[in-house]
Amino acid sequence: MADYKAGAARPKTEPSGRRYEVAGVLIREIDGRNRYEARYRIYNNHVENSSVCMNFKTDSVEYRECRRAAEPYFKDMCSDWSKRLAKDKDEKNKLAQEQYCEAARTYRP
């Protein structure tokens, strides 16, 4: 678990100099029991929608299933972080809520 958390948000730099983090989360398949580790880039607290499930080949079944499963994941996380923010107005909670709710609004598989 420690390795998972350590790798969840690694700051990186693109050749253009833009700094981003790579997040890795486990999401449940929509129509089954499988779980996928979905990796995606975060720039300035914004999920780069095109990078969701970037750890799979784009022409694979796993990629398509992972992308489908990411949509309800972002919606659930938006709801969860909104509830946390209502209880505790901490800045970290606000940033997480903004990040997931924006992803829920803009992400399409």
Q: Which segments of 6-49 are extended strands (E)?
A: 10-13, 19-28, 35-43, 46-47
Name the DSSP class of 32: S
Where are the chain's structural domains? 2-106
Cα–Cα–Cα angle for 31, 73, 84, rounded to 5 degrees: 140
List, for residues 3-23, the tens digit of each pLDDT value: 444 445 555 555 456 789 999
Residue 82's identity, in one-letter code, is S
pLDDT tens digits, one per residue of 54-99: 999 999 999 999 999 999 999 999 999 999 999 998 999 999 999 9
Q: What is the mean pLDDT of residues 50-54?
A: 97
Over residues 95-106, mean pLDDT: 96
H or E element in which residue 106 lies: helix 91-106
